[in-house]
Amino acid sequence: MFDTSRIGPLYEDFVVGATLPPLPAVTLSDADNVAYRAITGDQHALAGDATAYRTASGSSGAIANPALVMQYSIGQTTMATRQAIANLYYRSVRVLRPVEIGRTLRTTTTVLGLKDSAPKGDQFRGKVWLGITSETEDGPVVEYERCALIRGRGPGQPGHADDIPGPSDPTPLADLVGAVPGWDLSGLIGTDWAVDDTRVDPLRDHIDLAAPLARMTYNQAAVHRDHTLTNDGRRLVYGGHVQGLAQASLTRMLPGLATVQGWDGCDHIGPAFEGDLLEFRHRLAERHAVGSGHLMRFEITGAKITDDGPVDILRWTPIVWGV
């Protein structure tokens, strides 16, 4: 059992097969949707308009923004990443069902593999591969894996050498058809977007409220709160914040986005800091007709705008259902 009274665990404390102590469950509310929209600008149509959701779904409830569900799920895994140096990627994300307001989200995090990394100066570190399942009263709602680079205690390394996979291969869209909800999307705004067409969102946006998002979602990674723990003395922005801004951008470019069915992967290829100006490029890679809409695989790149030009910091490959 990990000692939760200190800021840990360190790399040497992990054991393959161990389940980490859970962070608190959260009952999703309308206030969560509003706060998340304030932080990211996400324009998810059905989360913003309860009447549209009820018309589309036939439910009498309201839906939590699917991006918000993922942010809480990721935050609830961060008992593992309190001592993270960086989150390397997410893989094999599968959204099993939408989550309505009023449901309570709980997350289980299991250690799948460990691999030593070369020390950087006197900083010892290693890769930790995690398997995650989040569920509500209705059963599992999302499953995925993530890999983080975690500080070690040193000196020396424990000698872990597990075969840790990289980002997942694209999942055939036909394999996801069974998880698509039986909603009527005729009331949503459709977009004529051709396969292989890349569109740049003309509305750039900057990162702010990074610490509130980390706190709101129970994110325990110390580098997102304490600037003294980073190499350059700047507080590192949670990578999911950049992904959240990317999804917000996609909701502007694809207003008929009904829900997110999964991610092929999400790679954080560069750091982000408060105040950074970001731009997003969206390429529609594939489309598959399902029900009243289409499953669509996007390849999205997030770039930080610098004096020397754009610098890519995010590659995200979501699969969404919409019109």
Handedness of CA 182, 183, 186, 188 (dihedral sign): negative
Could you tell me the pLDDT band of residue 277, with boundaries at 50, 70 and 90?
very high
- Is 264 part of any domain? yes
- Is 304 part of any domain? yes
With a CB cutoff of 8 Å and minimum separation 6, the contacts of 116 are 126, 127, 157, 158, 159, 160, 161
Residue 5 scores a pLDDT above 60: no
List residues bridging with 149 in a β-sheet: 86, 127
| DSSP designation for 152 | -
- Is 166 part of any domain? no
Could you tell me the pLDDT band of residue 3, with boundaries at 50, 70 and 90?
low
Could you tell me the pLDDT band of residue 2, with boundaries at 50, 70 and 90?
low
Q: Which domain holds residue 228?
A: 11-159+176-322
Please report, for residues 24, 87, 128, 184, 277, the alpha-carbon distance to residue 226 in angstroms, rounded to integers and kept in the order given.
22, 16, 22, 46, 22
Q: What is the mean pLDDT of the chain?
A: 95
Structural contact between residues 76 and 23, judged by C-beta atoms closer than 8 angstroms: yes
Give 8-36 pLDDT, tens digit per residue: 799 999 999 999 999 999 999 999 999 99
CB atoms under 10 Å from CB of 261, counted, come to: 26
Give 129-176 pLDDT, tens digit per residue: 999 999 999 999 999 999 999 999 999 899 999 999 987 789 999 999
Q: Which of 211, 312, 230 is nearest to 270 (CA)?
A: 312
- Is 167 part of any domain? no
pTM (predicted TM-score): 0.94
The tokens 């304490």 sit on which residue? 226
Burial (CB < 10 A; 0-12, 13-18, 19+), residue 305, is: middle
CB atoms under 10 Å from CB of 287, counted, come to: 14
| DSSP designation for 159 | -
Rg (C-alpha) for the chain, rounded Å, is 19
- Is 169 part of any domain? no
pLDDT at residue number 6: 59
Strand ranges for the chain from DSSP E: 26-27, 84-95, 104-120, 123-136, 139-151, 198-200, 205-206, 257-268, 277-290, 293-306, 309-322
Say whether 256 sits in a helix, a strand or coil: coil
Provide the CB-side half-sphere exposure for 256 (13 A, CA).
19
The tokens 């999307």 sit on which residue? 185
- Give the total number of structural domains in the chain: 1
Domain at 29, CATH number: 3.10.129.10
pLDDT at residue number 4: 53
Give 232-276 pLDDT, tens digit per residue: 889 999 999 999 999 999 999 999 999 999 999 999 999 999 999
pLDDT at residue number 223: 87
Percent of the chain whose pLDDT exceeds 90: 89
- Is 126 part of any domain? yes
- Is 170 part of any domain? no
Structural contact between residues 269 and 313, judged by C-beta atoms closer than 8 angstroms: yes
- Is 5 part of any domain? no
Cis peptide before 155 (omega within 30 of 0): yes
